[in-house]
């Protein structure tokens, strides 16, 4: 049965929206409001294969939602006619409080604000978006889906940092991110393998601008590479991933950088950008192919880190059914897929050169790029976080309706 959901992803100066049918992932319309709070803003609305763009000032998030509603009214679809079931919200940080999607009420909005110290760039914007959307869609249920929730199953050994008690009491631990994506592709991969969820061990490599590795055992996250923040782990577009924590003090002293500047450079001037001057993998691969030594090194470091995590997580899982690749790089970069998993045949992990080129995954289903008979499948699954948010929102509402006396 069709179940359209309006999915909102609110950033500090942008609002992404999509109307998606939770039943099958069909996108009815999508859009982006950019440069909220600046002198000139922009609204891009996509429907029926056309993009309608308009430059207008957008004062705040309330105005951003109003601008999106205008775009629906002008270009369709008619939101009242669509029969929206819910509004689904992407919220970045749920701390240790939220392991599941949650119906939005005043307490939930307050909790998202309270968790702001853990995600100062994201949670305050998410909370403002929640409040504005609740006013704009007062008659619809709103559901918050947290990017950290899927990783709340991490065992203490995997989420505890070996730091003083006072730090741990201040919330310093591994939370993990990309959870919505990992939940989505894990399910699709398990279905493609034809295995029972309880009996399936996966390593999910989400390689986008941000990048993470997650070990999934029986549908539960048991190890993940991102930590207190999304800075830890794999090499990313502009983030360093893992490094010796003593580097922070060293560059503060030697380069006279303050703590905020060190953190900014680790997030925005490191990773592929720091090594090769380009945060876009397409540019890095092209430069390496043209003989650029910096780009070649960047690719080597990127792939070396991935292999290290695959080996580590294989050891944690004690066996492996599939490596699952997703995100812009994982879904599209044949060169990185082949290179990152090169030399792992002794672990049963191999990319078939022909299949890597010819096999194409579809929305929600996997392409197998490992050879026939390989002990470990290598699967490419396009992620769809909005569909996952819509599905989780509808599942929550259905469960709530079923639990109510007289509910169906
Ligand atoms: P985000 O994390 O912002 O959602 P994406 O998942 O879209 O980002 O991933 C963006 C990354 O995917 C960029 O580094 C981009 O270069 C890379 N990418 C997209 N298409 C290709 C392609 N055809 N070949 C190589 N890399 C690609």
Under the banding of pLDDT at 50, 70 and 90, the label for residue 406 is low
- For residue 318, the CA-to-ligand 1 centroid distance in Å is 31
CA-closest candidate to residue 346, choices 308, 311, 306, 303: 311
Give pLDDT tens digits for 175-223: 999 999 999 999 999 999 999 999 999 999 999 999 999 999 999 999 9
Give pLDDT tens digits for 91-112: 999 999 999 999 999 999 999 9
388 is in an annotated binding site: no
Both tokens assigned to 340 = 């990152």
Active site residue 147: yes
- CB–CB of 29/397 below 8 Å? no
Q: Is the pLDDT of residue 408 over 70?
A: no
Could you please state the CATH topology (level 3) that the domain comprising 179-386 is classified under: Nucleotidyltransferase; domain 5 (3.30.420)
- For residue 398, the CA-to-ligand 1 centroid distance in Å is 35
| For range 369-382, the mean pLDDT | 97
- CB–CB of 90/147 below 8 Å? yes
Long-range contacts of 44-51 (CB under 8 A, 24+ apart): 45/71, 45/72, 45/75, 47/75, 47/76, 47/77, 48/76, 50/75
Three-class secondary structure assignment of 166-181: HHHHCCCCCCCCCHHH
Q: Is the pLDDT of residue 363 over 90?
A: no
What is residue 365's predicted lDDT score, i.e. its pLDDT?
A: 82
Give, using CA atoms, the residue closest to atom 24 of ligand 1: 333
218 is in an annotated binding site: no
Question: E strands, 48-200, where?
Answer: 50-56, 86-91, 102-103, 142-146
Q: Which atom of ligand 1 is nearest to the CA of 283?
A: 16
- For residue 257, the CA-to-ligand 1 centroid distance in Å is 31
208 lines ligand 1 (CB under 6 A): yes
Both tokens assigned to 90 = 């992407």
d(CA 17, CA 15): 6
Domain with CATH 3.30.420.40 in the chain: 4-146, 179-386
- CB–CB of 177/92 below 8 Å? yes
Q: CA-CA distances (angstroms) from residue 292 to 75, 278, 285, 286, 288?
A: 46, 12, 10, 9, 5
CA-closest candidate to residue 151, choices 265, 240, 233: 233
From the candidates 21, 147, 217, 321, give the one annotated as an active-site residue: 147
d(CA 200, CA 217): 6
Give pLDDT tens digits for 61-99: 999 999 999 999 999 999 989 999 999 999 999 999 999
Give, using CA atoms, the residue closest to atom 3 of ligand 1: 209
281 lines ligand 1 (CB under 6 A): yes
- For residue 191, the CA-to-ligand 1 centroid distance in Å is 25
pTM (two decimals): 0.95
Q: Which atom of ligand 1 is nearest to the CA of 327?
A: 6
d(CA 127, CA 113): 6
101 lines ligand 1 (CB under 6 A): no
d(CA 243, CA 336): 22
227 lines ligand 1 (CB under 6 A): no
- For residue 53, the CA-to-ligand 1 centroid distance in Å is 23
Q: Which atom of ligand 1 is nearest to the CA of 210?
A: 2
329 lines ligand 1 (CB under 6 A): yes
289 lines ligand 1 (CB under 6 A): no
Considering the domain 4-146 in this protein, what is its CATH number? 3.30.420.40
What does the longest C-alpha to C-alpha distance in the chain come to?
68
267 is in an annotated binding site: no
| For range 325-346, the mean pLDDT | 97
| For range 114-143, the mean pLDDT | 93
Q: Which of 207, 209, 272 to mutate to test the pocket of ligand 1 (most atoms within 8 A of CB)?
A: 209
Report the chain's mean pLDDT, rounded to a whole number: 96
- For residue 396, the CA-to-ligand 1 centroid distance in Å is 31
210 is in an annotated binding site: yes
88 lines ligand 1 (CB under 6 A): no
């Amino acid at each position: 049965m069709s179940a359209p959901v309006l999915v909102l992803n609110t950033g500090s100066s942008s609002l992404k929206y999509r109307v998606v049918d939770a039943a099958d992932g069909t996108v009815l319309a999508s859009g982006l409001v950019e440069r909220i709070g600046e002198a000139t803003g922009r609204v891009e609305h996509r429907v029926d294969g056309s993009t309608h763009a308009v430059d207008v000032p957008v004062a705040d998030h309330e105005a951003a939602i109003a601008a999106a509603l205008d775009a629906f009214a002008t270009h369709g679809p008619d939101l009242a006619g669509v029969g929206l079931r819910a509004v689904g919200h992407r919220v970045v940080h749920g701390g240790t409080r939220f392991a599941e999607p949650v119906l939005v009420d005043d307490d939930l909005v307050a909790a998202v604000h309270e968790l702001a110290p853990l995600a100062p760039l994201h949670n305050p914007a998410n909370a403002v978006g929640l409040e504005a959307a609740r006013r704009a869609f007062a008659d619809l249920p709103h559901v918050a889906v947290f990017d950290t929730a899927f990783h709340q199953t991490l065992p203490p050994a995997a989420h505890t940092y070996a730091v003083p008690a006072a730090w741990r009491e201040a919330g310093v631990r591994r939370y993990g991110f990309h959870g919505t994506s990992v939940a989505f592709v894990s399910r699709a991969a398990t279905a493609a393998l034809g295995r029972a969820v309880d009996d399936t061990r996966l390593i999910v490599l989400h390689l986008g601008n941000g990048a993470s590795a997650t070990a999934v055992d029986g549908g539960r996250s048991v190890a993940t590479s991102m930590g207190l923040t999304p800075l830890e782990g794999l090499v990313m577009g502009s983030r360093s991933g893992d490094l010796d924590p003593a580097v922070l003090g060293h560059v503060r002293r030697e380069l006279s950088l303050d703590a905020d500047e060190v953190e900014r450079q680790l997030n925005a001037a490191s990773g592929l950008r720091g090594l090769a001057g380009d945060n876009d993998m397409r540019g890095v691969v092209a430069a390496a192919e043209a003989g650029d030594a910096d780009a070649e090194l960047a690719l080597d470091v990127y792939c070396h880190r991935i292999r290290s995590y695959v080996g580590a997580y294989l050891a944690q899982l004690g066996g492996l059914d599939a490596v699952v690749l997703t995100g812009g790089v994982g879904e599209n970069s044949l060169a990185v897929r082949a290179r990152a998993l090169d030399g792992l045949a002794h672990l049963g992990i191999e990319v078939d050169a022909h299949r890597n080129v010819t096999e194409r995954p579809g929305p929600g289903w996997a392409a197998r790029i490992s050879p026939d008979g390989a002990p470990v499948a290598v699967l490419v699954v396009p992620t769809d976080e909005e569909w996952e948010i819509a599905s989780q929102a509808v599942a929550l509402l259905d469960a709530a309706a079923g639990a109510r006396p007289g509910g169906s």
